[in-house]
Amino acid sequence: LCAGVATLVSTAAMAAGMTVGFSQIGSESGWRAAETSVTKQEAEKRGITLKFADAQQKQENQIKAIRGFIAQGVDAILVAPVVATGWEEVLGEAKEAEIPVVLLDRGVEAPQDLYLTSVASDQVKEGRVAGEWLVKTVGDKPCKVVELQGTVGSTPAINRKKGFEEAISGHSNITIARSQTGDFTRAKGKEVMEGFLKAENGGKDICAMYAHNDDMAVGGIQAIKDAGLKPGKDILVVSIDAVPDIFAAMAAGEANATVELTPNMAGPAFDALEAFKKDGKQPEKFIITESKLYTPADNPQGEYEARKGLGY
Ligand code: AHR
């Protein structure tokens, strides 16, 4: 019994004192910045030493960082994979070194035994929720949509497109007229939307803008205003993330709907890692976070204030 207790105590202490490497994508959006700061806060709260590496949007930097973490012998690795493919080799190296890997907020196309668990939203559902909101809002009216896609090859870009298309299929009055990547950034969202406005009769032919994240929507809103139109009225605006700036736009009547993505992926990830390290408990392969719809009916000013200070 004594030996058992001693083992339990030492493994518990080991979990609390873990060193975890975190390969983050970069800082392309307000949501990403919040995820980074929440992860750092969660680690500190739990007595975990976090080794942070910013990949500046490049998969090669993420692979280099992961190899560095393996060489340092960290206890676990968190990775937010910028794109879906190309991970098998490096994840295999982590597995070989017996270092558990947790995927954060984006998925990979690789065998599931190469990672311990994935903490992410149901991204197809996010797109579907956005599309269903549009279907309900426009009813039978004809509606030409322009779509600002996320980073090419990333799971949120692939899945949010898919979910939205699923929701509008069977509603022939709603069509996606143009679709292009804005790389999840505000600047690119604005630039791409400027092109869409020019190509669509100065924007007069556009009924709605669907952006795969709020930052691109905020950039697009600026482009709509610069074109002399009213975002939120002349052109409906629906996007994903629920960052403070989209609530500010909603409060100003310039955005119509957003689907929440929690920036706290690290909480469930560390819970899973701690349980795994303490008693070998295998977590669920996919830990799915919620996708809640917000509209101007949901006190956008209050939501803005509640989110400020949460790491955004
Ligand atoms: O992977 C999550 C997405 O990445 C967020 O929706 C977006 O803002 C970020 O860049």
Q: Write b or e for each residue in 102-139: b if 16 or more Cβ atoms lie within 10 A of its Cβ, otherwise e.
A: bbbbbbbebeeebbbbbbbbbbbbbbbbbbbbbbebbe
Say which range, 12-21, 147-156, 188-197, 256-265, has the weakest mean pLDDT.
Answer: 12-21
Query: Distance from the CA of 278 to the center of ligand 1, in angstroms?
Result: 31
Which comes out higher in pLDDT, residue 6 or 136?
136
The Å distance, Cα 187 to ligand 1 centre, comes to 15
Q: Give the three-class secondary structure for 117.
A: strand
User: What is the structure's pLDDT at 16?
Assistant: 66
pLDDT exceeds 60 at position 14: no
From 184, 214, 216, 288, the mutation candidate for ligand 1 (largest count of ligand atoms within 8 A of CB) is 184
The single-letter DSSP state of residue 173 is T
Instruction: State ipTM.
Output: 0.99
Distance CA 70, CA 97 (A): 7
Average pLDDT over residues 258-263: 98
Q: Is the pLDDT of residue 9 over 80?
A: no
Q: Is the pLDDT of residue 1 over 90?
A: no
Of all atoms in ligand 1, which is nearest to the CA of residue 156?
A: 1
Looking only at the bridges linking them, the beta strands covering 293-294 and 257-260 are antiparallel
Q: Kindly tell me if the per-residue pLDDT of 2 is higher than 70.
A: no
Task: Check residue 8 and give its pLDDT.
Answer: 43
Residue 107 has pLDDT above 70, yes or no: yes
Q: Is there a contact between 100 and 77 (Cβ–Cβ < 8 Å)?
A: yes
pLDDT in tens, 234-247: 999 999 999 999 99
**Could you tell me the pLDDT band of residue 312, with boundaries at 50, 70 and 90?**
confident
Name which of 120, 196, 110, 212 is nearest 157 in CA terms. 212
SS3 209: strand
Nearest CA to ligand 1 atom 7: 213
Q: How far is CA 39 from CA 12, 21, 22, 265, 311, in A?
A: 21, 11, 9, 8, 10
Q: Identify the residues whose C-beta falls under 6 Å from ligand 1.
A: 28-29, 31-32, 105-106, 156, 184, 213, 215, 240-241, 261
| Residue 171, burial from CB neighbour count under 10 angstroms (0-12, 13-18, 19+) | middle
* pLDDT tier for residue 4 given thresholds of 50, 70 and 90: very low
Rounded Cα distance, 92 and 39, in Å:
25
Find out whether 306 and 248 touch, Cβ atoms under 8 Å: no
User: What ligand 1 atom has the least distance to the C-alpha of 31?
Assistant: 8
The minimum-distance atom of ligand 1 relative to the CA of 184 is 10
Distance CA 254, CA 256 (A): 7
> What tens digit of pLDDT does each residue of 285-311 get?
999 999 999 999 999 999 999 998 787
Supply φ then ψ for residue 121, to 5 degrees: -80, 170
Residues 206, 210, 215, 218, Cα dihedral to 10°: 30
Which of 35, 36, 158, 261, when mutated, tests ligand 1's pocket best, judged by the most ligand atoms within 8 Å of its CB? 261
Q: Which atom of ligand 1 is least distant from the CA of 154?
A: 1
